[in-house]
C-alpha cells in the first residue's frame, strides 16, 4: 500500500483537471526563493514527506516575504520526518481561505463499495472530528456497478449549505475522484483541505493518495516516483527489486519465511520463546533458488544478527529450490552465523538431501526450530 507525496498526487490531479494552486518543487532555499519570485508572494513552504499532520509538526509554513521564504525553507530542510531529513519542498501560491472542506475515499473490501467521507469542517484531524462531531461527516457509498455522475452528490452537498457553482464544482471533484480510484488504481484518495477562497474559488490544497503496488505494471511512470525512493530503506528496496518482502524489526534473529502468514506466526513465536526477530523476510510463493540466495544476501547485511532461522513450508514452493538457495548463499557469502533450517512440504525429500550433502541439518517441526534459533541467538547451542 503505497502512500505518495503531495506533489506526485497533484501531478495526478492535474491529469484530471482538478483545480490546484500554482506550485513548484524545490530542493534548496535558493530554489525556493526563485520559485516564490515566479509565483508571487505570499507562498506556502511545504515539506514533501509521507506522514500527515505536517502543519502541527512545523512542516508547512506561510512566507510573506522573500526573507521568510529563505528562513522557512532552511528550517524545514533541516527537519526530519519518517526517519529521514526533508529533501524536497513544494512552494505553493498563497490562498485566502474562506472555508475548508474534507473529502476522502477508500474501497470497502467487504461490500466492494467506494466509501466517500465528506465534511464541511475540513483542515482538522478527521479522526478527532469523527470522534467529537460524528454528525459533521457524511458517508456516501457508491456500489461497484453504480453510476457516480456529479448530480448524485448534489443533494448531500446542498444539505450542507453549498449552493450555486461551488456545489457543482465540488460534486464534479467527487465524481472525478471516484473515477481516479478505479482508473488510476488508487486505494486512498483524500483532499484535506479542499478550500473555497474568499474570491469564491474551489482549490485542492492538499493531495493524500495511496496507490496499489500490485497495479504498478499499468503505471510504469510510478517507478520514478520520489516517494518510491522514500518509502523504503536500502534493504527494503533491495528486497523489493528482487521480489521479496522485507520489514526491519530490530532484534537479533534473522528470519526467512516462505509465506507471509507463516513469517508473522514465526515472528510471534520467536518473541513467545523469549527471542527477538531482526527482520521479516518473505520469499513468497514459488520462490526460486536465486530468490532465496538474494534473501540471505540482504539479511546478512543487517548488523546485530545472532542467528538465522529459515522456516519453509513448501506448497507452491519446492523445498529443493529453497535448499539450493540456502547452500549457494552460505558458500558464496561465507555465512558464519548459525543457520537453523526447517523444511517441510513439497519436494521435502529432495530438499533435505541437498541440505544433508552440504553438511547442514534441518528440522521438520516449527517450534523446536524456533527454540533452537532463539537459543543460538543467546549463544546457547
Q: Which is nearer to another protein, 171 or 239 (CB)?
A: 239
Q: Near another protein by CB under 8 A, which window of 7-15, 33-41, 152-160, 309-317?
A: 309-317
Which of residues 93 and 282 has its CB atom nearest to another protein in the complex?
A: 282
Q: Give the burial string for 205-238 (b: 16+ CB within 10 Å, else e).
A: bbbbbbbbeeebeeeeebeebebbebbbeebbeb
- CB of 353 vs another protein, minimal distance in Å: 16
Judge whether 297 and 330 are in contact, CB under 8 Å: no
Closest CA to 279 of 294, 266, 289, 261: 266
Site for another protein in 327-346 (CB under 8 A): 344-346
Give the count of beta carbons closer than 10 Å to the beta carbon of residue 38: 11
Q: Does 16 bind another protein (CB under 8 A)?
A: no
φ and ψ at residue 126, rounded to 5 degrees: -70, -30
Closest alpha carbon to 235 in 251, 223, 250, 246: 246
Out of 98, 112, 130, 158, name the contact with another protein by CB under 8 A.
112
Q: For residue 354, how far is the Cα from the chain centroid?
A: 38
For another protein, the binding residues in 130-189 under the rule CB under 8 A are 144-145, 181-182, 185, 187
Q: Does residue number 127 form part of the binding site for another protein (CB under 8 A)?
A: yes
Q: Count residues binding another protein (CB under 8 A).
A: 51
At residue 212, what are phi and psi to the nearest 5 degrees?
-85, 110
- Smaller CB separation from another protein, 93 or 320: 320
Among the listed residues 7, 13, 102, 280, the single contact to another protein using CB under 8 A: 280
Retrieve residue 8's grid coordinates: 506526485
What is the widest separation between alpha-carbon atoms in the chain? 79
Q: In sequence order, what are the beta bridge partners of 45?
A: 61, 91
Q: Which is nearer to another protein, 81 or 348 (CB)?
A: 348
Site membership for another protein, residue 271 (CB under 8 A): yes
Instruction: Supply 303's cell numbers.
Output: 548488523
In the shown chain, the binding pattern of residues 199 to 228 toward another protein, with x for contact by CB under 8 A and - for none, equals -------------x-xx-xx----------
Q: Are 61 and 70 in contact (CB under 8 A)?
A: no
DSSP string covering 16-76, please?
Answer: TT-----EEEESSHHHHHHHHHHH-SSEEEEE--SSS-TTTTT-EEEESSHHHHHHHHHHH
Q: Which range of residues in 24-32, 154-162, 190-198, 275-283 is near another protein by CB under 8 A?
A: 275-283
- Site track for another protein across 225-264, x = CB under 8 A: --------------------x-x-x-------xxxxxxxx
Q: Identify which of residues 104 and 187 has a Cβ nearer to another protein in the complex.
A: 187
Q: How far is the CB of 248 from another protein (least distance, A)?
A: 9
Q: Which residues bind another protein (CB under 8 A)?
A: 1, 107, 109-110, 112, 127, 144-145, 181-182, 185, 187, 212, 214-215, 217-218, 245, 247, 249, 257-265, 267-272, 277, 280, 282, 284-286, 313-316, 344-346, 348, 366-367
Amino acid at each position: 500500500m503505497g502512500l505518495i507525496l503531495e506533489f506526485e498526487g497533484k501531478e495526478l490531479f492535474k491529469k484530471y483537471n482538478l483545480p490546484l494552486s500554482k506550485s513548484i518543487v524545490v530542493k534548496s532555499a535558493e530554489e525556493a526563493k526563485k520559485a516564490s519570485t515566479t509565483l508571487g508572494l505570499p507562498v506556502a513552504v511545504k515539506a514533501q514527506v509521507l506522514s500527515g499532520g505536517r502543519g502541527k509538526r512545523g512542516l508547512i509554513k506561510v512566507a510573506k516575504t522573500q526573507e521568510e521564504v529563505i528562513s522557512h525553507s532552511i528550517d524545514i530542510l533541516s527537519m526530519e520526518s519518517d526517519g529521514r531529513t526533508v529533501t524536497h519542498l513544494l512552494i505553493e501560491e498563497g490562498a485566502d481561505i474562506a472555508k475548508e472542506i474534507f473529502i476522502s475515499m477508500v474501497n470497502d473490501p467487504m461490500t466492494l463499495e467506494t466509501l466517500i467521507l465528506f465534511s464541511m469542517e475540513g483542515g482538522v484531524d478527521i479522526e478527532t472530528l469523527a470522534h467529537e462531531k460524528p454528525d459533521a461527516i457524511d458517508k456516501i457509498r457508491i456500489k461497484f456497478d453504480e453510476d457516480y455522475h456529479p448530480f448524485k452528490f448534489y443533494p448531500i452537498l446542498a444539505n450542507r449549505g453549498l449552493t450555486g457553482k461551488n456545489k457543482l464544482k465540488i460534486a464534479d471533484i467527487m465524481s472525478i475522484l471516484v473515477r481516479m480510484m478505479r482508473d488510476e488504481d488508487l486505494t486512498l484518495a483524500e483532499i484535506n483541505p479542499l478550500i473555497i477562497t474568499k474570491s469564491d474559488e474551489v482549490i485542492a490544497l492538499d493531495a493524500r493518495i495511496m496507490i496499489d503496488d500490485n497495479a504498478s505494471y499499468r503505471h510504469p511512470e510510478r517507478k520514478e516516483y520520489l516517494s518510491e525512493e522514500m518509502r523504503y530503506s536500502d534493504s527494503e528496496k533491495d528486497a523489493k527489486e528482487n521480489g521479496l518482502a522485507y520489514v526491519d524489526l530490530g532484534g537479533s534473529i534473522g528470519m526467512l519465511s516462505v509465506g507471509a502468514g507463516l513469517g508473522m506466526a514465526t515472528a510471534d513465536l520467536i518473541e513467545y520463546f523469549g527471542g527477538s526477530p531482526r527482520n521479516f523476510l518473505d520469499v513468497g510463493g514459488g520462490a526460486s533458488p536465486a530468490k532465496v540466495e538474494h534473501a540471505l544476501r540482504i539479511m546478512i547485511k543487517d548488523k546485530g544478527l545472532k542467528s538465522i532461522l529459515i522456516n519453509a513450508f513448501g506448497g507452491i514452493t519446492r523445498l529443493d529450490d529453497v535448499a539450493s538457495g540456502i547452500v549457494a548463499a552460505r558458500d558464496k557469502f561465507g555465512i558464519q552465523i548459525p543457520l537453523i533450517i526447517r523444511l517441510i512440504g513439497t519436494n521435502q525429500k529432495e530438499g533435505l538431501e541437498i541440505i544433508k550433502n552440504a553438511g547442514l541439518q534441518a528440522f521438520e517441526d516449527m517450534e523446536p526450530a524456533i527454540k533452537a534459533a532463539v537459543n543460538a541467538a543467546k549463544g546457547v547451542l
